[in-house]
Structure 1
Amino acid sequence: MSGARLAPSPATSAADAGNAGSTAAAAAPGRRGRIVGRAVVIALLLGIALLSGRFIVSNPDLGGVLNPRSPGPTGAKALAQLVRDKDVDVQITRSRRDAASALSSDATLVLTDPYPLSDEAVRALLDRADRVVLLSSSARMLRLLRLGEDAPGAGGEVSAGCRPAEFDRVGTIDATRMFLPATDSEGCFADESGAAALLRSTADGRTVSLLEGTRLLSNDALAQRGNAALGIALLAQEPRVVWYVPNLADGDISSGETTLGDLTPEWVTPALLLLLLAGLAAVWWRGRRFGPLVAESLPVTVRASETMQGRARLTARAADAAHAAEPIRAGTIARLAARLGLGPRSSVEEVADAASDRVGVPRTSLYDLLGGAPPHDDRELIALARRLAELEDAVGNTIRIERNRP
């Protein structure tokens, strides 16, 4: 009856249950993989955001240049150790208040260009010291201390040539920056033009020495010429050295809390947060489409003959006789090679030679037929196909298969 339904057999029900179970088991790892993939992407985005925030709020550490604790090429740890070897107590601090409280009449204040300090803070610190040595300089410090100004030229090899006795044993140095001393300042290590590598002032009972020692007193240059003797002559004249290392956190110009948000317009931070949220939403929305490919059977089966006919129609519609002749020749050569006992990778010449021996046709004509110029139009294509078919028939007629008789 048409209205009756056939009950599924036990074997069919068991097979369906097994297929459903395997499908569910196969789908479970896929879902777990998608969840894990989403979690990994979200973790990466959050890590990038946290890392970016760390870079934004952190301040650059510029104390590596002539830093007495730095063993790097641009540090000054070697110079600090040489000064200690002269029985001089070296106290290193990164706080200007600690440096000011540690100064006394028997101490030398050593520092590089105090870039984070304002002019008032620099004067307040220098006024507490009777002896000051600046290991690097800037135009601001030259103006503030009234020691002189920059001199043109690149410097060179110079010797002391000044009154302080501590510089007599220094010898020569290779200066990289020269200065023109002011009227109440003295220039040491001067060249013929009067420009000096070191400026020295003893006004108001305070001795101030200034030079550009970045390439003279650093760790990698201390062993050259008289650089080490120059550093000892500057720093080892008093029993104590208070070495102040400037840093942004201790400055009164920059608060040390500047972030990228403070330097950009107000709409940048909300825009970045909105883009981050949009990226997370896109990952959650489109992430469900990610996963392994699922193999599915095609709804129909396409026969080889239909494919061949479809390609033939396309070739005929394109009117490309040369392209259509290539598979015809290739098929003929493959079939002739099989009939003549040749390998599947035999060349056109080998097939033509074997066919010529079998049917008695000149080799040159078979060379042209199997591998010659392609046809230019449909008429030549039809003629070529007819000749190839005749060649196959001729070769087939020469083959005699002998049957075993009982």
Structure 2
Amino acid sequence: MSTDSPEAAVAPDGTGEQVFHADGTTLGQRLAARWRKYRFWIIGAAVFVLLSLLAFLLNDSGNRSIDALAINNPAPAGAQAAASVLENQGVDVTATKSLAETTNALAHNPYGSSTVLFYDPRNILSPQQVSELAAAVAENGAKLLAITPGPLTVKSLSPELSSAGTTAGIQQVAAQCDHPDAAAAGSISGGAPDPALDAGPAKGPLMLFKGAQTCFSPEAKAGTSSGGLLASNSAGDITALGYSGVVNNHNLAQAGNAALTFRLLGSKPNLLWYTSSVSDIPPAQNPPSMAELTPAWMFPAAAWLMLVAVVGVLWRGRRNGPLVAEPLPVIVKASETMAGRARLYQDARAVDTATRTLRHASLTRLARALRLGHAADPSAVVEAVAGASSRSSAQVHAILLGEAPTTEKDMLRIAADLAALEEEVARR
């Protein structure tokens, strides 16, 4: 409540009763004050909620992946189409994210019932880990298809396989070998360029391999003996494919890509779709110390910043003069003090305290106006005011010494009655 001199207005019903309006008493004024005070946090919270909602909608329930050749990625570079078709044909497709998870799944599946698709685009696995995967595949009578393995990786999978370099992108290349799956496919294609893929599906480089059986050689027509995009060992259980576009969603329907994919991956009832991840990185034997983790430039930079800070303190400290003494007591306007106390009462919603202050001030002014002295008893002031006005003693007592109000509306009514009573006594 503000005790600044409120403006009195005549009531609209024409009765002449004074109506007082205080600061911040209406709902609109309170809401406007809270908006000015908390608008930064309100706007920030609204922006956060909006961005979270957009992220949730764009993520589409959080069950889709953006990784290349992921079985739950419907984008052109994903492999959801191939995985869905294989599942519809009765193949149990399981995605694994680590070597330990893959070998554990192999051990739990029946002997000879599993195919492993191995995709390590970032070459996370070491040659020892690749050899461990190949040993687990051989031990469980499974088959393995490695998608674009590196030179060290393909050598660790089988000594019969080796890297033969790379080639540029292809449009379509024939099998030209006796491998049953490659012969059934006839040819594979890179498809038409797709702007959704960074390098385009028909662009390279594509990896070439040599093995006991080598198929899809782009340069076979030229009479060279270079490797092909597909190579297998003599047992046929380890196969390397040098072009991931054969399996992805964008190119699966091109030429014989689907036939080759489904024959290589759907020959057994269980398919483990293994994509390497950071879980395959072995932990360090000894945790690094703080000094090893700290960059080499940290200590020189810290020393330089400390020197700059000291120079800045000396520079600014020399410019500051002595403290200036201010004469006391400080004189403050009475209106400012009154307004400050009123706003404190308003913030604390101290209706009873504010009303008691108003009544005490009115009693003091009325006693002075009626020449009763500042120490006059309140009941004597009430009787003197009743005699000097047209009101009864009960009415004057209710205004000056009545019960404390519980709402701001009641307090404003009492303030109006006090002002009217003082004005009536002053006019006598």
| TM superposition score normalised by structure 2 | 0.45
Report the structure number with the largest CA radius of gyration: 1
TM-score normalised by the chain length of structure 1: 0.47
